[in-house]
Amino acid sequence: MTHPAFEFIRSQTIDALKISVEEYRHKVTGAQHIHMVADNQENVFLVALRTVPHDSTGVAHILEHTALCGSEKYPVRDPFFMMVRRSLNTFMNAFTSSDWTAYPFASQNQKDFNNLLDVYLDAVFFSRLDELDFAQEGHRIEFSETDNPNSDLVFKGVVFNEMKGAMSSVPSQLWHTLCKYLYPTTTYHFNSGGEPEDIPNLTYEQLKNFYRTHYHPTNAIFMTYGNIPASVHQEKFENQALSRFEKLDSIISVPDEKRYHAPIAVEEFYPAEDDEDIANKNHLVIAWLLGKTTNLEESLEAQLLSNILLDNSASPLQQALETTDLGQAPSPLCGMDDSSREMAFVCGLEGCAIENAEKIEELIFTTLQKVAEEGVALSEIEAALHQLELQQREVGGDGYPYGLQLILTGLTSATHRGDPIALLDMDAALKSLHEKIHQPNFIQTLVKKWLLENNHRVRLIMKPDTQLNARVQLAEAARLAKLKSELTPADKQNIIARSHALQARQLQQDDETILPKVGLEDIPEHLHYTPGTHEIFNGYPLRCYSAGTNGLVYQQITFKMPAITDAQKKLLPFYCSCLTELALGDKDYLDVQRWQAEVVGGIRAFSSIRGTGDDVQKIDAYVTLSAKALSRNQVAMSELMQATLKQVRFDEHERLRELIAQKRARSEQSVTGHGHSLAMTLASAGMSPAAKLAHELGGLIGIAELKLLDNLLDYKDKLTEFAQGLTQIHQLMLNAPIQFLIVGEDEHLNTYRKTLETLWPATSATDKFVSFAIPAVSEQIKQAWITNTQVNFCAKAYPTVPADHPDAAALTVLGGFLRNGYLHRAIREQGGAYGGGASQDNTIAAFRFYSYRDPRLTETLADFDACLSWLQETKHSHQALEEAILGVIGSIDKPGSPAGEAKTTYQAELFGRTREKRETFRNRVVKVTIDDLLRVAKHYLVSEKASVGIVSYAGQQEKLQALGLDIHQL
């Protein structure tokens, strides 16, 4: 049944995804509604606007932030973050892409879903766009000493600081610089997030004009997923928004890109640290512009070609880039990008010398020419197509809700007025592609057409410049000095007055009761639990979980971690990352990569080390080999997993050398994106053995050790020693107790069991096993690490208690309570950081404050302390407590994919987190009182016990020294 305001266009059932997709159009405005009918109580909503900026001021990004700061029906200062707290949502956010802005949310509670829908519709279509909100979220100038007009001017703003942090990432700079040349005339030429030096050029009037022209139903795409009927959604769309609009005459779209008649080559620079050896720090990438993303046939062919060339280490182009000594590792940009109107294919190297630029380009084109002349084996093409099929069938939902993943899949095509259903229902297109690959010279023709004979090609070299950051900072200081010199006395007073007005607005207490809410009474009585069997086969423990996996099967083999030496402990992350990348028996690593591509959709090894539920000084540890495959490949997957464990060889030394170089490159790139996590890991490293190991193996020490190891492996004897160390760890693993996990559809589980029974016969007991252990850890950390960033990441940590302790629930609620009541305003709104908060980590018994992409340092640490004073000195409402509890319960109850929930349950129960213990913890959370919060804060968050961890940059050295921190260079 269709709502009278809408007309039904079509519907299509997609059996592979177990959904039916319906398309509607709003009769008056032309707004599009795509509804995905699914037997799933996690309902998802998204409204997207086509946003096409013509500069890099970040207008679309700043508008996304500002639109959520109050609306006609909900004239409160911060309805978005207020609703985060008044909701049982499983997802809430907003995104700015290069050519669209989207506002999605998801909830399993229909009352909650409707509440959020009310707020989102009003925020998007009837936003107030207060000028003070624009100043807070976008940019503003203030005096460094707020009331002193003689002090220096400074730029502030959440998006301004967010993009300073984002553009500290070399891959981000590389991508945006590449787009500047690959898309010379369309919106992708610009940075839609905003370039820090351009953001201050955006005026408030320009923001409002952009809103008027882009945030209109005629320019909107509504997308929904779940078990609520389309007509129910449409009634709300019509009554709460669409009935107040007429159709817009103008059409917002992205035109075809102007094509180059000849390739171009350009060179640009990125900032590097002064003490870096920059000779081999260049990046070289080559990019081609391909066909339109709305053309499903071309899109699939391009994805197939990308998979054939780059999917794994045996793929011809990936192999050439990984094995050459012309660079450190393949570029992080390698692959196909289909997020824009026209697709792009990119490949290249990072960590190369400038004098090798021509040789690198020659290597790439020689490899492509060879593929164009000789093709690739049909088995490799079929393996690449197998990966496409597996990606299409897999039911996701462990990161974003599954429904949102499907919505985002169709959104790119819908944005450009293509067919979003076609991108979801790919079975027919995949079948057609299966037939095409048997045509003579099919792949050869694609390589020639899109790569060798395509003149819209850009070669970009990004060179490191140790003085660039200093020049950027000087230019910003000069710009601000010039602005200040032109200020009249009245201008200065206006700046001061606006600073006070903004501060007053940030401190004002809004009437939250005008916003809808759910309460503790809406919390489901029990924890959602995924049950599995507890079985024994041939003497091995086995867990089986029945789940709707849409034709996929998931398997894990888990080893109890054995006792290892300190030297072996340092090798543990490399053992895990290398195990699935090496030779097996008589197959070299290239043959193994081909084997993996043919039978599995992924295979990896990982370690899990946690404190026990009642004492974090005692740890439990496991290593798991995990894989997934289509059901028809379960036997082949099991054989591959067994071979990986029983036949792995660590004697391919050059392969090991390549893997460590690639791991180093990825680790160095991750710092600016995960600086807050690294800072928290640093600050809590002295609180338990598991926390210390997390810092040493995967934190800042781990990255520093990886850099040292990468340098050492240039020496053959060190490389041999490294390989021997991995071999020794593996021998210890093979003597450890193991257990198995299977997740699949119920009707196939018995067949899967029989496969394991055949492959893993009973074995005699191994020698007496000694499990992994680490001495107790209790020390304070006061450290800062300097890296290549323009912002700070601050953390402060306190030792607390593990999950089974009665106070763990109150400490967990306390994190959200402090964020909601104090930290969000102080760190983000007033301080200008992109984010900040506090949380209890029960696995390491630590309570941690943090800030993310933060322009401040000492002031933020002071805010962490002031937060605790505010807690004890303020009278708090029950509503604030309820909101914090809702946040914790929402996090606990957040659903994953069917397979993901089973794997999470299995891993939790490895560490003794049984259903009963998790339920007990959840029940304690619901019963937390304000007195509990005051008590645990006073008892555990004692300043004398605090540890501090900072990730910062060289310009902050004096401040860091003044704080008494030990300073390390990353």
Domain residue spans of the chain: 6-251+496-514, 264-399+410-465, 782-969
Across 234-241, average pLDDT: 97
- Residue 766: the pLDDT is 60
Tell me: pLDDT of 182 over 70. Answer: yes
The pTM assigned to this predicted structure is 0.91
Q: Which of 834, 660, 850, 638 is nearest to 167 (CA)?
A: 834
Q: What is the pLDDT of residues 276-309, one digit of tens each?
A: 678 889 999 999 999 999 988 899 999 999 999 9
Determine the pLDDT at residue 279: 85
pLDDT number for residue 74: 95
* Confidence check: pLDDT of 245 > 90: yes
Ranges of H-type helices in 324-426 = 357-374, 378-393, 402-415, 420-424
**Segment 463-505, tens digit of pLDDT:** 999 889 889 989 999 999 999 999 999 999 999 999 999 999 8
Reply yes or no on whether the pLDDT at 694 is more than 90.
yes
Instruction: Report whether CATH 3.30.830.10 matches the domain 264-399+410-465.
Output: yes
Beta strands in 389-496 (DSSP E): 457-465
Question: What pLDDT does residue 276 have?
Answer: 62
pLDDT of res. 897: 85
Options 3.40.640.10, 2.60.120.10, 3.40.50.720, 3.30.830.10; CATH of 6-251+496-514:
3.30.830.10
* The pLDDT value given to residue 665: 86
- At 393 the pLDDT is 80
Confidence grade of residue 896 (pLDDT, cut at 50, 70, 90): confident
For residue 320, pLDDT over 80 is answered with yes
- Return d(Cα 182, Cα 257) in angstroms, integer: 9
Confidence at 643, pLDDT banded by 50, 70, 90 = very high
- Is 264-399+410-465's fold the same as 782-969's? yes
Q: Among the listed ranges 45-49, 55-59, 325-329, which one has the minimum average pLDDT value?
A: 325-329
More confident residue, 530 or 718: 718
pLDDT at residue 241 tops 70: yes
pLDDT of residue 681: 96
Predicted local distance difference test score (pLDDT) of residue 677: 94
Check pLDDT > 70 for residue 462.
yes
What is the DSSP track for 815-874?
Answer: HHHHIIIIIIIIIIIIT--SEEEEEEETTTTEEEEEEESBS-SHHHHHHHHHHHHHHHHS
Among left, alpha and beta (phi > 0; psi -120 to 50; other), residue 468 is alpha
Per-residue model confidence (pLDDT) at position 767: 65
Q: Are 719 and 653 in contact (CB under 8 A)?
A: yes
**Are 863 and 881 a contacting pair, CB within 8 Å?**
no
Look at residue 835 and tell me whether its pLDDT is greater than 70: yes
Q: Tell me: pLDDT of 449 over 90.
A: yes
Q: Which of 556-560, 681-685, 767-771, 772-776 has the lowest mean pLDDT?
A: 767-771
Q: What is the CATH code for 782-969?
A: 3.30.830.10
* Separation CA 836–CA 851 (nearest Å): 4
539-572 pLDDT per residue, tens? 999 999 998 888 899 999 999 999 999 999 999 9
Question: What tens digit of pLDDT does each residue of 123-166 get?
Answer: 999 999 999 999 999 999 999 998 999 999 999 999 998 898 88
Q: What is the mean pLDDT of the chain?
A: 93
pLDDT at 275: 61
Mean pLDDT, residues 633-646: 97
Q: What are phi and psi of 335, to 5 degrees?
A: 135, -170
Report the pLDDT averaged over residues 175-190.
96
pLDDT at 284: 97
- 673-692 average pLDDT score: 94
Sign of CA dihedral 872, 878, 880, 885: positive
